[in-house]
């Protein structure tokens, strides 16, 4: 499950992305007009890294797919070259300083999303905790679904290199390849790859937003 705290976050995720997105080669929108249309959460088995996939528009109907990872220390302390994926640093009212990174550069995200895709998994259940410690389950409106089955092998992408190619980002290591589509294109087909299909309010028909091959 994913536990969210009802607290302050400075700067906000939207503010961080508004500053970071214009420098990304796959982003062609107006970063001053970001509007979130959906988001999904994933579980880090170790409970250390927050994983969240954001879906935004930016002044028109194009939907951008921006997964982020959240850590209590810079990604570069764990991953060589991790600083290149930094989106920004936030002050969380409960957890303190949090480093937000483009999740494709985070091996925890790559491992978790690969397992979801290969095993036919789905988004994490979401729970909110208030200042008094009360925990309630939140309704989930953005759904993800992997196309594999629990018996399928999950490729290891922990040591993958990551590059941006057109409107996608690719992580590969010679034995497996994860392609994350940055722009939602209804009707996209994954061919013989495992797929991550996502639906959100206003988009009932799932859209392929990632492909996995090994």
Q: Taking 80 as the threshold, does the pLDDT of residue 136 lie above it?
A: no
Pairing of strands 2-5, 126-129: parallel
How much is the pLDDT for 151? Answer: 96
- Report yes or no: 202 and 184 within 8 Å, Cβ to Cβ: no
CA gap 40, 188 in Å, rounded: 20
Find all residues with CB under 8 Å of 82, minimum gap 6, and list them. 74, 75, 76, 101, 105, 106
The whole-number average pLDDT for the span 178-197 is: 95
CA gap 45, 48 in Å, rounded: 8
Find all residues with CB under 8 Å of 152, minimum gap 6, and list them. 118, 119, 120, 194
DSSP annotation of 139: P
Q: How many distinct structural domains can be found in the chain?
A: 1
Q: Taking 60 as the threshold, does the pLDDT of residue 175 lie above it?
A: yes
- Report yes or no: 194 and 212 within 8 Å, Cβ to Cβ: yes
**Which of 9-18, 111-120, 131-140 has the least mean pLDDT?**
131-140
Q: What is the pLDDT of residues 62-120, one digit of tens each?
A: 999 999 999 999 999 889 889 999 999 999 766 779 999 999 999 999 999 999 999 99
Q: Which domain holds residue 182?
A: 2-213
- Report yes or no: 101 and 93 within 8 Å, Cβ to Cβ: no
Residues in the chain, total: 214
pTM of the model: 0.92
Q: Output b/e per residue, 50-66; b: 16+ Cβ within 10 A.
A: bbbbbbbbbeeeebbbb
How much is the pLDDT for 2? Answer: 52
How much is the pLDDT for 199? Answer: 98
- pLDDT band at residue 1 under the 50/70/90 scheme: very low
Q: Taking 70 as the threshold, does the pLDDT of residue 154 lie above it?
A: yes
CA gap 89, 108 in Å, rounded: 19
Share of residues in the chain with pLDDT > 70 (%): 91
How much is the pLDDT for 63? Answer: 98
């Amino acid at each position: 499950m994913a536990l969210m705290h009802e607290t302050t976050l400075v700067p906000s995720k939207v503010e961080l992305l508004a500053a970071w997105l214009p420098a990304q080669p796959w982003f062609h929108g107006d970063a001053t007009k970001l509007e979130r249309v959906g988001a999904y959460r994933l579980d880090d088995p170790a409970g250390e890294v927050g994983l969240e996939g954001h879906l935004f528009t930016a002044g028109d109907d194009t939907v951008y797919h921006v997964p982020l990872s959240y850590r209590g220390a810079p990604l570069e302390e764990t991953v060589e070259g991790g600083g290149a994926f930094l989106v920004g640093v936030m002050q969380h009212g409960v957890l303190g300083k949090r480093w937000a990174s483009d999740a494709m550069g985070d091996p925890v995200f790559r491992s978790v999303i690969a397992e979801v895709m290969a095993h036919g998994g789905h988004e994490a259940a979401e729970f909110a905790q208030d200042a008094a410690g009360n925990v309630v389950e939140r309704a989930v409106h953005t759904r993800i679904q992997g196309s594999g089955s629990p018996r399928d092998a999950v490729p290891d992408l922990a040591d993958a290199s990551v590059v941006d190619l057109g409107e996608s980002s690719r992580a590969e290591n010679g034995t497996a390849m994860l392609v994350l589509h940055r722009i939602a294109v209804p009707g996209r087909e994954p061919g013989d790859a495992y797929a991550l299909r996502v639906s959100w309010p206003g988009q009932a028909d799932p859209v392929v937003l990632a492909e996995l091959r090994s």
